[in-house]
Amino acid sequence: MSARNITAERLLALIETYGADVDAYPEDERASARALLKAEPQAFAAALEEARTLDLLLQAVPPVDTPADLRTRLIDSAPKPARAAGRRWRLPVWIPAGAIASLSLGLFAGMSVAQTSVPAQEDQAQELVYAALGFDTYSIDLEDEAPQ
């Protein structure tokens, strides 16, 4: 981690939070804290002494041995983590398929309505479709109908 410069207020906050041992501070602030403590030892002497006293009191407290049954019950009663936000709501497969089908039907209906407004084009389109499908009874006379 890269060392960064810290202020006197930040060093006091670190002493209050982590105690007098600089090795307990966050890794990226240790070198700066050591340098500041070395440069101005009297400025932080009272805070360090208070932190050392509290550290000794906390070290004197005997460790608590939690019974395995109690530990298991506590862990089981803890709130479960929330599911990931991306997986909370999923569309069933038929919804997008239905949307595509209704869109296609709407486009087809719209195109059908739009073509009926020009009867001459409808007749030409119908003749073109029948000729493309290979029905011999229909023929296209494009040369006769071409605009001059």
Tell me which residue range forms the domain holding 121: 102-141
25 in any annotated domain: yes
Domain count, the chain: 2
Q: Is residue 42 part of a domain?
A: yes
Residues 6+ apart with CB under 8 A from 99: none
Of 10-19, 32-41, 92-101, 129-138, least confident by mean pLDDT is 129-138
Predicted confidence at residue 145, as pLDDT, reads 56
pLDDT of residue 2: 44
pLDDT at 1: 43
The verdict on residue 119 lying in a domain is yes
pTM of structure = 0.44
pLDDT in tens, 77-122: 999 887 655 555 676 777 888 888 888 888 888 777 765 555 666 6
* Inside any domain, residue 22: yes
pLDDT of residue 38: 93
Q: What is the pLDDT of residues 22-53, one digit of tens each?
A: 999 999 999 999 999 999 989 999 999 999 99
